[in-house]
Amino acid sequence: MQKLAQSWLVLQLSGSPFLLGLDAFLGEIPIFFFSLVGGVVADRIDRRHVLLASQFVQMSCAFLLTALIAFKVVAVWQILTLSCVVGFAQAFGGPAYQALIPALVKPGDVSNAIAMNSIQFNMARVIGPVLGGLALTQLGAAWCFGLNGLSFVAVIISILSLRLRFVPRGDGSSILDSMRQGFGFIRGKPGMAALILLAFLATMLGVPLMVFLPVFAKDVFRQGPTIYTLLLAFSGAGSIAGALSVAAMGNHPHKGRVIVITMAVLGLFMVGFSLSRWLPMSCVLVFMSGALTIVVFATLGSLVQLLTRDEMRGRVMSVYNVAFRGGMPMGSLLAGSLAPALTAPVVLAVYGVLMSLLGLYFLVVQREVAAL
């Protein structure tokens, strides 16, 4: 919800697609730089404590932004700064959260738990903006930030209620040595390095579709927040459909093949959306794009978790986090930089073509992922 309101607010205050991409970049780039350290921390101390600290920082930023909006003193630089602080908190909270999930269930249920976790995480990334769009149009931007701040209260209570304690194995190694151990595990596990590379490229090419939705609503369809919310709603509905598809597939043995084929098809729908000027067709195309995006992201996350040992989970998931979350700011910043010269639809069409070619490459040429 907060990301939705931030995107529209930045565009409204500045009118600049570049600053829209810069906001997404600053929100994700701390994750790119600090997640590796966060992964080591998650393997060394109680993961609940790391996660709690992350939640308190993010809650404070949400309430501060609420106050800035309410008192009508908000400026673009303040939004950009708070985005960076939230990204820093997520760099430490993300690996701890992902490493904690498999320890909450019985060994036989780990696969299903990982799949459910991937589904809910990726669905929230799309459904949240849909609810945020409704709050933005009906109540105003301050409500989006305020409701986000309140949501952390429930999260913090949930974490405090967990009776699980992670007891790290103290081997006396330095942070750098621990990082090297994580990288060594990734290099030695067949297909793991390719999966992490694919996560980076998939998010780099796929996420700008969501980032540029306000630009399509404002500049392509010449409408306001209502059409933006409509596009988000169809994208959110597609995400639900994609999540249900992943759940229906269960723990099937061909996750890698599903990932690369879905990426190839997703690119085609992205190109179609970028070319469409008829709103009903655009709604259908963004629905399908939302569904396929969730299938790719949820299946990627599940496969990486299933291939990882618990004592390495924090470090491996931090590297995955760097790739998965690092691709978002890179793609958003590059797309935002190119949009003024080429227009957002042209940039998105190029991204869609590259997404399809990437899926086909890993399906036909580099088949390590497709074999998983």
303-359 pLDDT, tens digit each = 888 888 777 887 888 888 788 877 877 888 888 888 888 988 999 999 999 999 999
* pLDDT of residue 284 exceeding 90: yes
Percentage with pLDDT > 90 across the chain: 29
**How many domains, the chain?**
1
Q: What whole-number distance in Å separates Cα of residue 265 and Cα of residue 17?
A: 27
Q: What whole-number distance in Å separates Cα of residue 248 and Cα of residue 144?
A: 33
Residue 139 located in a structural domain:
yes
134-168 pLDDT, tens digit each = 888 888 888 888 999 999 999 999 999 987 766 66
Q: What are the C-alpha distances in Å from 148 to residues 26, 63, 134, 158, 243?
A: 19, 8, 14, 16, 23
Q: Quote the pLDDT of residue 24.
A: 80
Residue 67 sits in which domain range? 2-163+175-364
* pLDDT of residue 97 exceeding 80: yes
Residue 187 located in a structural domain:
yes
Q: What is the mean pLDDT of residues 354-368?
A: 93
Residue 372 located in a structural domain:
no
Q: Using an 8 Å Cβ cutoff, are 75 and 128 in contact?
A: no
pLDDT category at 283 given cuts 50, 70, 90 is very high
Q: Quote the pLDDT of residue 170.
A: 56
Q: Hey, how many other C-beta atoms are within 10 angstroms of the C-beta on 319? A: 23
* pLDDT of residue 280 exceeding 90: yes
DSSP state of 109: G
Q: Quote the pLDDT of residue 167.
A: 61
Percentage with pLDDT > 70 across the chain: 94
Residue 251 located in a structural domain:
yes
DSSP state of 104: G
Token pair for 57: 């920082």
Residue 294 located in a structural domain:
yes
Which is more confident, 120 or 192?
192
Residue 80 belongs to a domain with what CATH number? 1.20.1250.20
Q: Using an 8 Å Cβ cutoff, are 30 and 87 in contact?
A: yes
* pLDDT of residue 108 exceeding 70: no
Q: Where are the alpha helices (DSSP H) in the chain?
A: 2-14, 17-42, 47-70, 76-100, 110-138, 141-161, 175-188, 192-206, 208-211, 213-215, 225-249, 255-275, 279-306, 313-342, 344-364
Residue 169 located in a structural domain:
no
Residue 170 located in a structural domain:
no
Q: Quote the pLDDT of residue 289.
A: 94
Q: Quote the pLDDT of residue 126.
A: 65
Q: What is the mean pLDDT of residues 228-232?
A: 83
Residue 168 located in a structural domain:
no
